[in-house]
Structure 1
Amino acid sequence: MPNDPQQTLPCRADMVDLFAGPGGLDVAARWLGLDVYGFEWDRNACETRLEAGLNFTPHDVREFGPGHVPGAWILAGGPPCQTFTVAGSGAGRDALAKVLSFVRRMAAGENVTREVARLDDERTGLVLEPLRWAMDAANAGTPYKVIVLEQVQAVLPVWKEMARVLEDGLGYHVDYGVLRTEEFGIPQSRRRAILIASLDGDRKLPMPTHRRYRKGVDRSEGNASLLPWESMGEALDRGGPFKVISNYGTGGFAKQRGVRTSDQPSATITGKVSRNRIVDLEGNPLERLTPYEAGRLQTFPADYPWSGKEVAQQIGNAMPPVLALHVLAAALGFRVSQEDARKVVDRPWLDTRDSAPIDHLQRMDRLFS
């Protein structure tokens, strides 16, 4: 990989992704025909990005700003979640009050960089980077027209505080809330805090296309206008029914290890997904999930070229591309059909990564000309 990040910066891009990982948001952007430049500092994720045809030089977003990606009109990012998630260190949750005060002080024009650097876990402060980029772009007279942010549910108060800054200080129309992945055709139950913002009129978070998964409730029940949620068995061709026994328990308690059957959505895919046990209905052990299967439960294309080390962690950290697709579309002012979502997931990535199977660029040009 090149050693000088400055030499690899793009001439232009439609979207900048501040915490790009192996490519969750990037994949969705490519499906929409958008040029995207992703900032990612993990070298393992960058190995996957290289094989996937995405930009791959490690970057630290704190060393860059809007001027480094000319022409970008969409700002996106899913900051590291480990300090906020229940399964992680908890440092972010413990520092939540400080993080909220930093947001307010940044809005007032204060420089909080040194104080943020003194947080117990440096990853916690990264959640503030999208606001810095948005404010710097606005102050330079080249504001991003669209902003999309994603994190674990515990970060919703931060998005709420940022929404006030974006609305009152920068003139954005903002919506935020918690989305459930299975309600968008993803064969996995996962809750994500989402924020979308636009300078081009009111925008709302995407509406579900599928029914919500509830333990003990049949997938045929619920709102008849919505599709049944997708199961692991439908996503993975394993030749028969199976059970997945989670490596860790509900709420972080090991004794409460979850079990899902192949006719249910997967539990949340985490960086420990490779440790989950797979058995048949009689309890006989089966082969554990391959990286390609785990990626498919995240809605990456089946041939996505996972590379480098700690692949399970890369997969667990990523934003599900189909959720990113629905969220990006909503931020841009249109809705993606279930047919389009299924089409892009089923198409080989390595054959179509440079094409736009969902082509809304002409409409985008009208929206933002």
Structure 2
Amino acid sequence: MTDGQAPSPTSAQVEMVDLFAGPGGLDVAAHWLGVSVTGVEVDGDACATRKSAGLLTKQGDVRHSKPIDYPEARILTGGPPCQTYTVAGKGEGRGLLAQVFNFVVAMAGGADVSEELAELEDERTGLVLEPLRWVIDAAERGAPYESIVLEQVPAVLPVWQLFEMVLLARGYSVDCGILHTEEFGVPQTRRRAILIARLNGEAWLPRPTHRRYYRGKARGEGDQRLRPWKTMGEALGWSEAFTVVSNYGTGGDPKARGERLSTQPAFTVTGKVSRNRLVGRGKGLPERFTDHEAGRLQTFPHDYPWSGRGIAQQIGNAIPPRLAAHVLAAALGKELDVAVLDKCVKRSWKETRNGVEGLVKNPD
């Protein structure tokens, strides 16, 4: 325990369980909202970051844990591995969606599909079903989760839509769809498939607070009721102009590198963010983003204690805490005060990890 911080809850006391927790994107948001949370994560490097950040963590395979391990938890969140579903991966998950659908139907009917899942060529494909196992297990135990949040790459939206049918049949209100991160103040263009389910209230995806970014469209254009999208320069606090040259080629041409100006949002932050090149930053300054700078583009606190190996990959795998805060608040039937959130994101992790006064409000 760090001086000045409240003691961490035990596993029996936590209000929220975060599956596939990574370095803590959803966990950071939970702390901002004053929600006690434990994360289940198998990767040792992500767990090293979580330990440095003081996040309650169960290191191990999600498949080896179950709801009874966290008897007081009433919120379930999770972002299963996306490598087999993402466009950047091999795409096994996308090719097996029909089979995944059959697994969901079988699980909803009470079947144990663990042996069938073990036979998949890439076991990560079946991990997307683990949150559903937890939901069904908790309900059968007589202690269903009151709120559920799931996030993944857009290709997984059809799976979330099938989950929706199962959850509706179990009395939940459900909403799911694709959210654009820049529409919630994240200085980055990134799309995520989000599912929110509530047992004792209407479920709704959070409403955008900022305008969507369109190439060639000025920042001041668009819905004037919304705030302008956040820029990289704004997020990093850099006054000098610079250009980011992407590690990826566009249109299938590896030589046609995309570019973004400091007055625009960043490209999607992936595990290869450290390979993007900075042009015009200033003589003698690094030509690559540091880990902390990449973390800022994901809206992690500026002093977040990244640890272990593969930090760029940890950062790229995480859900941006700012988006996670909006989603988690919606799952609790709340909205965020954007002005307070702006201040929160700029504060240190030590200052904000125990909750931010005035951050949440009733949607009415």
Q: TM-score range by the shorter chain?
A: over 0.9
User: Letter of the aligned partner of 2:204 in structure 1?
Assistant: K
Alignment correspondent of 2:72: 71
Partner of residue 202, structure 2: 202
Q: Specify the SS of the correspondent of 2:175.
A: strand
* Structure 2 length-normalised TM: 0.93
Question: What does residue 356 of structure 1 align with?
Answer: 355
170-179 or 103-112: bigger deviation: 103-112
1:138 corresponds to:
139
Task: Map 1:182-193; keep pairs closer than 5 Å.
Answer: 182-193=182-193
Is the contact between residue 196 and residue 331 of structure 1 (CA under 8 Å) also seen in structure 2? Answer: yes
* C-alpha contact (below 8 Å) 2:39/2:58 kept by paired residues: no
Q: Are the aligned partners of 1:33 and 1:359 in contact in 2 as well (CA < 8 Å)?
A: no
For structure 2, the residue ranges without an aligned partner over 5 or more in a row are 1-8
Letter in 1 for 2:187: P
The alignment's C-alpha RMSD in Å is 2.1
Distance 1:107 1:346, change over 3 A: same
Partner SS state of residue 56, structure 2: coil
Q: What stretches of structure 1 move > 2 A for 4+ residues in a row? A: 249-257, 281-287, 358-363
Verify the 8 A CA contact 1:147 1:197 in the aligned structure 2: yes
* Structure 2: distance between partners of 1:155 and 1:306: 28
1:52 corresponds in structure 2 to 53
CA gap of 1:89–1:262, structure 2 versus 1, over 3 A, is same
The yes-or-no answer on 1:234 pairing with 2:242 is no
**TM-fit CA distance, 1:10:** 1.3
Letter in 2 for 1:31: W
**What is the SS of the residue equivalent to 1:254?**
strand
Structure having the higher helix fraction is 1
Q: Distance in 1 between matches of 2:61 and 2:301?
A: 27
Instruction: Give CA deviations for 1:305-335 in whole Å, capped at 9, x if unaligned.
Output: 1010000000000000010000011111111
CA contact (8 A) 2:337 2:358 kept: no
The answer to whether the 8 Å contact 2:18/2:39 transfers is yes
Report the Cα distance in structure 2 between the residues aligned to 1:210 and 1:362, rounded to whole angstroms. Answer: 18
Change in Cα spacing, 1:239 to 1:13, as seen in structure 2 (3 Å) is same
- The amino acid across from 1:310 in the alignment is G
| Cα distance in 1 between the residues matched to 2:255 and 2:168 | 45
Q: CA deviation at 1:104?
A: 1.1
Residue in structure 1 matched with residue 5 of structure 2 by the alignment: none
Aligned equivalent of 2:263: 263
Deviations 1:272-311 (A, max 9, x none): 1111111118999853101111000000011101010000
Match of 2:245 in 1: 245
The aligned counterpart of 1:297 is: 297
Which residue pairs with 2:33 in the alignment? 32
SS in 1 for 2:303: coil
> Unpaired segments of 5 or more residues in structure 1?
1-7, 364-369
* 2:90 corresponding residue in structure 1: 89
Distance 1:33 1:284 in 2: 42
- Matched position secondary structure for 2:202: coil
- Separation (CA, whole Å) in 2 of partners of 1:202 and 1:253: 46
Whole-angstrom distance in 2 between the partners of 1:21 and 1:184: 21
Alignment of 1:329-340 (within 5 A): 329-340=329-340
CA contact (8 A) 2:341 2:359 kept: no
Report how far residue 105 of structure 1 moved: 1.1
Normalised by the length of structure 1, the TM-score is: 0.92
Which residue in the other structure is 1:345 paired with? Answer: 345
**Structure 1 contact 279–286 (Cα < 8 Å) conserved:** no
Greater shift in the superposed pair: 236-245 or 118-127: 236-245
Identity %: 59
Deviation for aligned residue 1:249: 2.9
Q: Which amino acid aligns with 1:334?
A: K
User: What secondary structure, in the 3-state scheme, does the structure 2 residue paired with 1:106 have?
Assistant: helix
Task: Say if 2:271 and 2:314, in contact at 8 Å, map to a contact too.
Answer: yes
Does the Cα contact within 8 Å between 2:335 and 2:360 map onto a contact in 1?
A: no
Tell me the SS of whatever aligns to 1:39: strand
Task: Provide the residue aligned with 1:366 in structure 2.
Answer: none
* Secondary structure at 2:17 match in 1: strand
CA gap 1:104/1:9 in 2 versus in 1, 3 angstroms: farther
Match of 1:3 in 2: none
How many Å separate the matches in 1 of 2:357 and 2:180? 23
Match of 1:288 in 2: 288
Q: Which amino acid aligns with 2:30?
A: A
Q: Name whichever of 134-143 and 337-346 sits farther off.
A: 337-346
The aligned counterpart of 1:166 is 167
Q: Return the offset for 1:103.
A: 0.7
Q: 1:285 to 1:247 in 2, by over 3 A?
A: farther
Farther-moved stretch of structure 1 (246-255 vs 116-125): 246-255
**Matches of 2:243 and 2:104 in 1, distance apart?**
44
Offset of 1:148 from its aligned partner?
0.4
Residues 77 and 150, structure 2, Cα contact 8 Å, conserved in 1: yes
Across the two proteins, how many residue pairs are aligned to each other? 355
Please state if 1:176 is matched with 2:176: yes
- Does structure 2 conserve the Cα–Cα contact (< 8 Å) formed by 1:86 and 1:251? no
Output the amino acid matched with 2:311: V
> What is the CA distance between 1:340 and its match in structure 2?
2.0
Residue aligning to 1:315 = 315
Name the structure 2 match of 1:274: 274
Cα distance in structure 2, aligned partners of 1:112 and 1:283: 58
